[in-house]
Amino acid sequence: MDSIKLHYDISATDFTRAGAASGDVKRTLKELGVAPSTIRNVAVAMYEGEINMVIHAGGGVIDVEITEDAIKMVLADQGPGIENVELAMKEGFSTAPDNIRCLGFGAGMGLPNIKKYTDEFQLDTEVGVGTTLTLKVYMKP
Amino acid sequence: MTVQMIKDHLGLEVLTAGDLSREVTGCYCGDLLSWVMGKAREGDCWLTVMGNINAVAVAVLTDCACIVLTEHAALDEAAKLRAEQQGVTILTTDESAYALAVRLSAVIA
């Protein structure tokens, strides 16, 4: 199979649209006949990434590449960056404001979930510059 | 046990009807969406008070069998519309998550 490339612009502060990109990827993978567990892993990781971009970074871009072996996702934003990566990776730690918590977010599970659901996880961040997540979920037979 | 059977057995009210013939294989209670996304399993009956559009997205992504809004928590118009579009079943009850989960465990065990 040739690789399939998808690109999404994630707009800032629009919670009602968050989930649109991951939903689209989910549909695409379903049509390709990818294993449900693989689809779930990709969808959850991407949705968490989308939400993070909306909450913390004022939006960003997501590029997805689907090949025979894996689904690769690159989520890039030009937000404030992450000051303490070790803390951000800890379950339960969150810097989300109260209005976000009222929506049901801010559990401090975003990045830990993304790591949990991906086979490869790389986080590059610089304070004042932005954050890029490079993720891979392997295709399971 | 299907969503329809659970609705009938537990006396739940339907707010949006997706696939009522779906099998319910477990239950998850929680309101923090990322937490739920990390822990809920496919086929779960998800008990929550979160009736917003993001809850619908979480239900779709985790592939849970249905959402039950406990203690008659409100369902947003936007969430209702999205659930209808995406075929997500949302039920409601006046019971607490605990009370309903106890009764649910008796019927899906």
Going from the N-terminus, what domains does chain B have, and what CATH number goes with each? 3-108 (3.40.1390.20)
Report the gap between the CA of A43 and the closest CA in chain B (Å): 6
What is the rounded distance in angstroms from the CA atom of residue B103 to the CA atom of residue A49? 36
The dihedral built from the CA positions of residue B8, B11, B14 and B19, taken in this order, carries a sign that is: negative
Mean pLDDT of the region A57-68: 95
Tens of pLDDT, residues A17-58: 777 899 899 999 999 999 988 999 999 999 999 999 988 999
Supply the range of the domain harboring residue A60. Answer: 4-81+113-138
Q: What is the pLDDT of residue A102?
A: 81
Tens of pLDDT, residues B12-37: 999 999 999 999 999 999 999 988 98
Asked whether this complex has an ipTM greater than 0.85, the answer is no
Q: How many CB atoms lie within 10 A of CB B89?
A: 23
Residue A106 maps to a domain? no
Residue A104 maps to a domain? no
- Please tell me the pTM assigned to this model: 0.83
Report the gap between the CA of A14 and the closest CA in chain B (Å): 11
Tens of pLDDT, residues B40-66: 999 999 999 999 999 999 999 889 999
Residue A108 maps to a domain? no
Of A106, A6, A120, A141, the closest CA to residue B35 belongs to A106
Cβ separation of B61 and A105 shorter than 8 Å?
A: no
CATH number for the domain spanning A20: value is: 3.30.565.10
The answer to whether the beta carbons of residues B100 and B47 sit under 8 Å apart is: yes
Tens of pLDDT, residues B75-91: 999 999 999 999 999 99
- Tokens linked to A103: 């929506």
- The number of distinct structural domains making up chain A is 1
| Widest CA span in chain B | 34
Distances (CA, A) of A100 to A94, B10, B64: 11, 33, 23
- DSSP 8-class letter at A83: S
A15, A47, A109: residue with CB nearest B61? A47
